[in-house]
Chain A
Amino acid sequence: MEFDFNNPFGSITRLLTDLLLGLGLDQPLVAFILAVVGAGILAGATLTTAGVFNIWLERKVGARFQDRLGPNRVGPFGLFQGIADAIKLVLKEDITPLGADKVVFNIAPLLAVMSVVGLWAVVPFAPQLIGADLNVGVLYVVAIGGVGTLSVIMAGWSSNNKYALLGALRTVAMLISFEIPMVLVLLVPTMLAGSMGMVAIVDGQDVWYLLMAPVAALVFFISSLAEVGRTPFDLIEAESEIVAGYNIEYSGMKFGMFMVAEFFHSFTIGALFTVLFLGGWRGPGSETFPLLGLVYFIAKTFFMYFVVMWVRYTFPRVRIDQVMALNWKFLTPLALVIVMTTAVVDKLALEQALPRTPVHLVLNIALILLTILALQAYARALRRKVEGLPEPEAGEVAGAAIGPG
Chain B
Amino acid sequence: MTAMQAIFLLLGLITFLSAVMVVVSPQLIHAGLWLVLTLAGVAGLFVLLEAPFLAVVQVVIYIGAIAILIIFAIMLTRRMLREDGRQYNNLWAGAVTVSLILFAVLTFLVLQEPSLAAGSEPLQAETSVLLQDLGRSMVDVDRFIIPFEVASILLLAALIGAIYVARPMMASEEGDREE
Point out residues on A near B: beta carbons under 8 Å.
Answer: 28, 32, 101, 104, 134-136, 139-140, 142-147, 149-150, 153-154, 157, 165, 169, 172-173, 176, 179, 195, 197, 404
**Which residues from A are CB-within-8-Å of B63?**
143, 146-147, 150
Cα A179 to Cα B63 with chains together (Å): 13
Cα A140 to Cα B59 with chains together (Å): 9
**Which residues from A are CB-within-8-Å of B128?**
135, 195, 197
**Which residues from A are CB-within-8-Å of B167?**
404
Instruction: Give the shortest distance, in Å, between B152 (CB) and chain A (any CB).
Output: 14
Q: Contact check, A136 vs B52: say whether CB atoms are below 8 A apart.
A: yes
Give which listed residue, B3, B29, B56, B71, contacts A136 with CB less than 8 A: B56
The answer, yes or no, to whether B60 is at the interface (CB within 8 Å) is yes
Binary A-proximity of B61-94 (CB < 8 A = 1, otherwise 0):
0011101110110010000000000000000000
Cα A104 to Cα B30 with chains together (Å): 9
Q: Contact check, A157 vs B60: say whether CB atoms are below 8 A apart.
A: no
Q: Contact check, B3 vs A149: say whether CB atoms are below 8 A apart.
A: no
Q: Contact check, B56 vs A140: say whether CB atoms are below 8 A apart.
A: yes
Q: Contact check, A32 vs B3: say whether CB atoms are below 8 A apart.
A: yes
Q: Contact check, B68 vs A143: say whether CB atoms are below 8 A apart.
A: no
Q: Contact check, A139 vs B60: say whether CB atoms are below 8 A apart.
A: yes
Cα A153 to Cα B72 with chains together (Å): 8
The answer, yes or no, to whether B156 is at the interface (CB within 8 Å) is no
Given known contacts A146-B59, A169-B75, A172-B72, A157 and B29 CB-to-CB distance under 8 angstroms: yes
Cα A147 to Cα B39 with chains together (Å): 12
Closest to B36 in A: A150
Closest to A158 in B: B29
Cα A176 to Cα B71 with chains together (Å): 13
Cα A153 to Cα B29 with chains together (Å): 11
Q: Contact check, A139 vs B64: say whether CB atoms are below 8 A apart.
A: no
Instruction: Give the shortest distance, in Å, between A72 (CB) and chain B (any CB).
Output: 42
Cα A197 to Cα B128 with chains together (Å): 10
Closest to B127 in A: A135
Instruction: Give the shortest distance, in Å, between A30 (CB) and chain B (any CB).
Output: 13
Cα A134 to Cα B47 with chains together (Å): 11
Most buried by A among B57, B63, B64, B167: B64
**Which residues from A are CB-within-8-Å of B71?**
150, 153, 157
Point out residues on B near A: beta carbons under 8 Å.
Answer: 3, 29-30, 33, 36, 52-53, 56-57, 59-60, 63-65, 67-69, 71-72, 75, 127-128, 131, 167
Instruction: Give the shortest distance, in Å, between B138 (CB) and chain A (any CB).
Output: 14
**Which residues from B are CB-within-8-Å of A146?**
59-60, 63-65, 68
Given known contacts A150-B68, A154-B33, A142 and B60 CB-to-CB distance under 8 angstroms: yes
Cα A140 to Cα B127 with chains together (Å): 15
Give which listed residue, A28, A32, A157, contacts B75 with CB less than 8 A: A157
Q: Contact check, A176 vs B75: say whether CB atoms are below 8 A apart.
A: no
Cα A104 to Cα B53 with chains together (Å): 29
**Which residues from A are CB-within-8-Å of B65?**
146, 176
Q: A146-B68, A147-B64 are known contacts; what are 4 more A-B pairs with Cβ within 8 Å?
A: A136-B53, A140-B56, A143-B64, A197-B128
**Which residues from A are CB-within-8-Å of B30?**
101, 104
Given known contacts A143-B60, A150-B68, A135 and B52 CB-to-CB distance under 8 angstroms: yes
Instruction: Give the shortest distance, in Å, between A205 (CB) and chain B (any CB).
Output: 19
Closest to B53 in A: A136
**Which residues from B are CB-within-8-Å of A136?**
52-53, 56, 131
Instruction: Give the shortest distance, in Å, between A80 (CB) and chain B (any CB).
Output: 38
Instruction: Give the shortest distance, in Å, between B141 (CB) and chain A (any CB).
Output: 18
Instruction: Give the shortest distance, in Å, between B15 (CB) and chain A (any CB).
Output: 17
Given known contacts A149-B64, A154-B33, A179-B64, A143 and B59 CB-to-CB distance under 8 angstroms: yes
Instruction: Give the shortest distance, in Å, between A141 (CB) and chain B (any CB).
Output: 9
Give which listed residue, B33, B59, B64, contacts A104 with CB less than 8 A: B33
Give which listed residue, A104, A135, A153, A165, contacts B68 with CB less than 8 A: A153
Instruction: Give the shortest distance, in Å, between B91 (CB) and chain A (any CB).
Output: 30
Cα A145 to Cα B128 with chains together (Å): 23
Closest to A107 in B: B33
Cα A112 to Cα B57 with chains together (Å): 20
Instruction: Give the shortest distance, in Å, between B92 (CB) and chain A (any CB).
Output: 26
Closest to A104 in B: B33
Closest 3 A/B residue pairs (Cβ) = A146-B64, A143-B59, A143-B60
18 residue pairs A–B, Cβ–Cβ below 8 Å: A101-B30, A104-B33, A134-B52, A135-B53, A136-B53, A136-B56, A139-B60, A142-B64, A143-B56, A145-B64, A146-B63, A146-B65, A146-B68, A150-B63, A150-B67, A153-B71, A165-B75, A176-B69
